[in-house]
Structure 1
Amino acid sequence: MIAVSILNRLIMAVVTLFGVALIVFVLLRVVPGDPIAMMISPGASPADIAALRAHYGLDASLTTQFGIWLKSVLIGDFGTSISLKRDVLSLLGERLPATLELAFAALVLAVLLGGAVAIVGTLARRTIFEPVIDSLNGLFLAVPDFVWALALVLVLGVLFPLFPLSGRIDPSIDVQFATPFYLVESLVTLRFGILADICAHMVMPVLALGLPLAAIIARVLKAALSEAMVQDYILLAKLKGMSDLRLVLQEALRNAVGPTIALTGVQFTFLIGGTVIVERIFAYPGIGNMAIDAVINRDLPLIQGLVLVFGAIFILVNLAVDLLVAAFNPRLAHG
């Protein structure tokens, strides 16, 4: 059953990506603005404009343009960036790892912090500390990631300059990486000085992305734990002499984690989308920062490639979440 479900989802993923590609392709060509006019010199002749338009395939009909572009994408050719004059696929390969490392670091922070707050809140239920924890969590939940980013810049970057304000690594560090996954590579190769510098550059963007997600996880998991704590099997375990902490960690948590994983996966896709603004604020060299520049420059091939990458990430995350939910729920795994 799981194999059939995965196959159906993969088929739907292909259909979804095709629909996303079609919609984005059409929208980019019907909105006002000419990318050729933005990149050519003011004194260019009509012949020069026509030649450049033909070079980028913008002189053909819309259906012909889409057919040519789709055929190229299927063989791994995403075109050439109009603004950066480089292959789109190579640009995505350079920038995507930075965004993935940032997003997964924020996810780890959110899961650990949100889970801890939910467990503490469950243990403190029916005490004076429960409304305090809920109120603080509600405050964190109400503040969006870009506001956290601006506040962190002001506090940890200006008032108390503890962490770098921009970039991914200190430019003065002369080091060659074999892969674009700087954090993972420096950890695997045991270059702890470089690892510390990379982590220092990631602290503020990770906090900005992770704190709102942590608040969501804390609220959902605490509600699920509170519901589980009044079930009969919990009361029976309590009669056997189990402490509240063991009841939460050993009995209630495994039954409450399923819905939390499902919501966390959905929110993680929004977190990846939130990297666009956060990366811009911290000048972090990921695909989110590059997406803003691509939109400003009307770089059609780059925008199309970025949208396809975001769409693929969202689909893969949702598929992974469904598998995790099934793994934590035996009824779904065998159903």
Structure 2
Amino acid sequence: MNRQNALFKYILSRIAITPLMIWIIATMVFALLRIAPGDPVDAILGNRANETARELLRSRLGLDQPLLNQYLSFLNNILHGNLGESLNTQQPVTEIISKALPASLELCFTSLFIALLIGLTIGFSGIAKPEGKTDFIGRFYGISTYALPPFWAAMIMQIVFAVILGWLPIGGRFPASLIEPEGTGFLILDSILSGNWLAFNGAIRHIILPSSTLGILLSGIFSRSLRLNLGKTIQTNYVEAAMSRGLSFRKIVINHALPNALLPVLTIAGLTIASLVGGALLIEVTFSWPGMALGLQEAISQRDYPVVQGIVVTVAALVVLIGIIVDILIAFIDPRIRY
């Protein structure tokens, strides 16, 4: 079997298991929400509501149905793209997600860009003189940034750059005095497309602190990964053969070692994007960033089943999709991959 056929079958197999993975995650979310303590009716009406009002609301929400019927209805709605309505605001969950998802993705991509820029620079600079001062500083940086508590780092950034220096806003996504540009939901992109440079400046100023905080915290992962993989790649036979031919160390690293060392970094970057969509909770809460993580935290505290289920299923689908894309990219790039 040639490589093209093997790659095609590999892609089909990865795509084929996607619905199964999403179904398993959706089922787990449905079950966990039902066995968790608390009642969404109490969260909406309070504990002092009379029993008649409680039963009417329970019937309207479908919570009086057998659990199996609720589960089948839940799966049927997902298949038809209907994630239900919020128990508290009666707003369609798809509408809530459509507003929160661009905010999270904008923060994720900006943070990832900063993380890659800092992390790859530090990781690459350390390989020039292994075990030297620069290498030691890079390793210490990678360990220390990875160990920093996100909420602590976020508050320090707020205190220094927003409170003491007053350079940047302390939180939020956009100035309250301006009207958000319409379009894709990505405020920076929409500002550029509409030529609204005042809105662009406001969006940039608000995203700098949360994205820089998250980028610095993530950069240590990339610096350590690149440094470790680049160090191993330099010790391989083909690099030693290139050095024996008289090629410069810099040329060998850039042209031969670095492309192979970047493959694990690509994997980490893809998984980081997926995890940050719903995982940057502490950053979004600290900076009042209206993304998926903040929406999920609020929905959990309010026992808003449809919103929690919709956000988790959406994030799970993104994680699976990005994971498949990364696997396919690596399979195309690395001829050593076998299926």
Do they fold alike, i.e. is TM over 0.5?
yes
Question: How far does residue 241 in structure 1 lie from its aligned partner after superposition?
Answer: 4.6
Counterpart mapping for 1:14-163 below 5 A = 14-40=19-45, 44-163=49-168
Question: How far does residue 108 in structure 1 lie from its aligned partner after superposition?
Answer: 1.4
Question: How far does residue 272 in structure 1 lie from its aligned partner after superposition?
Answer: 3.2
2:240 is the counterpart of 1:235: yes
Q: Deviations over 1:230-273 (max 9, x none)?
A: 33333343345543332222121111111222233334433334
Instruction: Verify the 8 A CA contact 1:80 1:301 in the aligned structure 2.
Output: yes
Cα distance change, pair 187–62 in 1 and its aligned pair in 2 (3 A): same
Q: Find the partner of 1:256 among 250, 253, 261.
A: 261
Q: Deviations over 1:41-70 (max 9, x none)?
A: 666432221111111100011001111121
| Runs of at least 5 residues in structure 2 that lack an aligned partner in the other structure | 1-5
Q: Deviations over 1:49-99 (max 9, x none)?
A: 111111110001100111112112211211110122200111111111110
SS of corresponding position for 2:159: helix
**Letter matched to residue 6 of structure 1:** I
2:286 is the counterpart of 1:292: no
Q: Find the partner of 1:327 among 329, 332, 336.
A: 332
Residue in 2 that maps onto 1:200? 205
User: RMSD across aligned C-alpha pairs, in angstroms?
Assistant: 1.9
- The range that moved more, 9-18 or 144-153, is 144-153
Write the distance in 2 (CA, Å) between the matches of 1:51 and 1:76: 27
Poorly superposed stretches of 4+, deviation over 6 Å? none
Write the distance in 2 (CA, Å) between the matches of 1:263 and 1:137: 15
Write the distance in 2 (CA, Å) between the matches of 1:270 and 1:88: 21
Instruction: Verify the 8 A CA contact 1:169 1:201 in the aligned structure 2.
Output: yes
Residue in 1 that maps onto 2:283? 278
Instruction: Verify the 8 A CA contact 2:101 2:277 in the aligned structure 1.
Output: no
- The range that moved more, 84-93 or 204-213, is 204-213
- If the length of structure 2 is used for normalisation, what is the TM-score? 0.92
Write the distance in 2 (CA, Å) between the matches of 1:175 and 1:153: 24
Write the distance in 1 (CA, Å) between the matches of 2:214 and 2:113: 11
Question: How far does residue 136 in structure 1 lie from its aligned partner after superposition?
Answer: 2.4
**Letter matched to residue 82 of structure 2:** D
- If the length of structure 1 is used for normalisation, what is the TM-score? 0.93
Instruction: Verify the 8 A CA contact 2:154 2:283 in the aligned structure 1.
Output: yes
Write the distance in 1 (CA, Å) between the matches of 2:127 and 2:209: 29
Q: Find the partner of 1:7 among 8, 12, 19.
A: 12
2:188 is the counterpart of 1:183: yes
Q: Deviations over 1:281-310 (max 9, x none)?
A: 100111111111101110011111011011
Write the distance in 2 (CA, Å) between the matches of 1:290 and 1:35: 16
Q: Deviations over 1:185-239 (max 9, x none)?
A: 2233343332222111111111222222211111111111112223333334334
Write the distance in 2 (CA, Å) between the matches of 1:79 and 1:263: 33
SS of corresponding position for 2:264: helix
Instruction: Verify the 8 A CA contact 1:145 1:274 in the aligned structure 2.
Output: no
2:219 is the counterpart of 1:214: yes
SS of corresponding position for 2:64: coil
- The range that moved more, 125-134 or 153-162, is 125-134
Q: Deviations over 1:149-206 (max 9, x none)?
A: 1221122122222111111110111344123121222233343332222111111111
Write the distance in 2 (CA, Å) between the matches of 1:240 and 1:9: 42
Write the distance in 2 (CA, Å) between the matches of 1:323 and 1:12: 14
Write the distance in 2 (CA, Å) between the matches of 1:247 and 1:188: 42
| Runs of at least 5 residues in structure 1 that lack an aligned partner in the other structure | none
SS of corresponding position for 1:330: coil
Instruction: Verify the 8 A CA contact 2:278 2:292 in the aligned structure 1.
Output: no
Residue in 2 that maps onto 1:165? 170
Cα distance change, pair 115–43 in 1 and its aligned pair in 2 (3 A): closer
